[in-house]
Structure 1
Amino acid sequence: MTVVHDGIRVQDLAEAGEESAESAKRRQILEGARKVFLAQGFDGASMGEIAKVAGVSKGTLYVYFDSKESLFEALTTEEKRGLAEVLFKLDPEDPDVRGVLRTLGLSYLRRMGKPEHISSIRMVMGAAEKFPRLGQAFYEAGPCQGIARLKAYFDRQVEAGRLSIEDTGVAAQHFLDLCVSGMLRRLLFSVGEPPTEAQIQRNVENALRVFFAAYGPGAPQE
C-alpha cells in the first residue's frame, strides 16, 4: 500500500532519499579517485587504493565503476564539464564585448594555471596514449564545450555588429589560445612557477589587443 502524506507519496520520498544517497556515494568515490590519481597518476593508481582513500569497500567501488578506466573517464569528464559551465556563462546581450572577454580570459587563465589543473592535463595526456577514449572524453567535455559556448556568444555579437568574424568557431579557439599563449606550454613542461596575477592580466590584455585587431567591428575579413 502506498501511503500519502500532504499530497506526497511516501514511496516517492523514499526513492528520492535513495537517489540522494546514491549520488552522495558516487561523489565520495570520485573525490577519493581524484586524490589518488593526482598523487599517483593513472598508471600508478589502483582500484584498491581508490577504495581505501574513498572510504568504501572494493565491492562497493565496482558497483559504481567496473574499471579504473571508466572511473577515470567519469572523473575527468564531470570536472571539465562543470568547469566549462562555470567559466563560460556569457551574456549574449551584454554590449561590452571587451569587458566580457576580459572577465572570461582572466577566469580561464587563473584556472588553467593552477598546479592541480596542469597535473590533470598531463595525466590525461599520458593515459590517452594507451586509452584514446579517455583523451577524447576529456576533450569533448572540456575544450569542446567551452569553444561551443564561446562560439554561440560570438554568433550573437556578429549579428549585433559588435564583432566582424567569418568563422566564429575558429575565432573562439583563437581567443582561448591567445590567452594561454606562452604560458600553458611552459607550465606543462614544469618550467618556472605558476603565473602571477600581473602575468595573467598582461597575457589577457595582449590577447584582447590581438583579437580585436583581427575581429573587431569593421575588421577586414577575406
Structure 2
Amino acid sequence: MTMIDTETVAEAPRAEPESTKRRDIIDGARKVFFEKGFDGASMDEVARAAGVSKATIYVYFGGKEELFEALVHNDRARAAERLFEVDSSADEVDTLLRHIGISFMTMMVQPDQIRMVRMVIATAEKFPRIGRAFFDAGPCRGGQRLADLLRRQADLGRLSIDDDVAAAYEFFNLCQSNSVKGLLFGVGEQPTPAQIEETVARAVRVFLAYYGTARAG
C-alpha cells in the first residue's frame, strides 16, 4: 500500500459511511478505473477525478484494492435494485419475466458492464476479495431477489418450482444466451433492443415450458 503522511491524514475529516465525500471518491474512481484499468489506475488520478486530496481518500479507503472493492459493491448493488423495479404481483408471469429479462440483458451488454466484469476477472486471482464482492453483490444478490419473486409467483399457483434459487439462475442464463460471453471476449457486437427482446422472449418461453403451470399459460 502506498505510504502517506500520517499527520496529513489526521487533519482530514473523519470518514462517515455513505457520505457525499465518499460517493464523490467512488464516482472519481469509476472514471479512472474504467479508463485506465485496475493496474493502470493510480490514487493520484482518482484524487484529481474526485476533486479531493489523496489524504482524504485514505480516510475512507485503505488503498486501491479496497477502493475498487467498494466501487464493485456499490455498482452491483445499485444495478440489482434497478433490475427489480417491478410489480411482483403482476397477473401475467410471462410479462413479469420479460420485463426483468430485458432489464437484465440491457444492463449486461453495456460497455461499462463488460469493462467491469473484465477488470474483476483480471484482478480476482490476485485479490480474491474483489471477486467475492462482485459475486455477492451482483449474481448472488440478483439471483436471490429473483428467487424470492419466483417463490411468490409459485405461491400464487403460476409456477411449479422446487428450487427457486436454481430456477432464478437458470432464467438469467437463458437470457444471456451467448451474447454476454461473446462481448467479454471481444466477439460480436452489442445486441440491439429488438435482438434483446427476441432473446428474452425465447428464454421466457423455455423457462415457462418447464416451470409453468396451466394458470401461468
**Distance in 1, Cα, partners of 2:58 & 2:185:** 35
Letter in 1 for 2:204: L
The alignment's TM-score, normalised by the length of structure 2, stands at 0.88
Instruction: From the CA coordinates, give the structure whose radius of gyration is larger.
Output: 1
Letter in 2 for 1:102: R
**Distance in 1, Cα, partners of 2:163 & 2:113:** 29
Letter in 2 for 1:180: Q
- Verify: 1:108 aligned to 2:108, yes or no: no
**Distance in 1, Cα, partners of 2:160 & 2:119:** 38
**Distance in 1, Cα, partners of 2:88 & 2:44:** 47
Structure 1 stretches of 4+ with a deviation exceeding 4 A read 18-22
Match of residue 71 from structure 1:
67
**Distance in 1, Cα, partners of 2:39 & 2:115:** 14
- Verify: 1:216 aligned to 2:215, yes or no: no
**Distance in 2, Cα, partners of 1:200 & 1:22:** 35
Match of residue 6 from structure 2:
none
Matched length: 202
**Distance in 2, Cα, partners of 1:21 & 1:87:** 25
**Distance in 2, Cα, partners of 1:207 & 1:84:** 20
Match of residue 135 from structure 1:
131
- Verify: 1:156 aligned to 2:134, yes or no: no
Match of residue 78 from structure 2:
82
2:163 to 167, 189, 194: 167
Greater displacement, 47-56 / 105-114: 47-56
The alignment's TM-score, normalised by the length of structure 1, stands at 0.86
Contact 1:81/1:142 (<8 A) preserved: yes
Letter in 2 for 1:37: F
Match of residue 189 from structure 2:
193
- Verify: 1:122 aligned to 2:118, yes or no: yes
| Offset, 1:161 | 1.0
- 1:92-136 deviations in whole A, cap 9, x for unaligned? 322211101111111111111111111001011111010011000
Contact 1:92/1:153 (<8 A) preserved: yes
Q: Which runs of 5+ in 2 are unaligned?
A: 1-13
What's the Cα RMSD here?
1.9
| Offset, 1:53 | 1.7
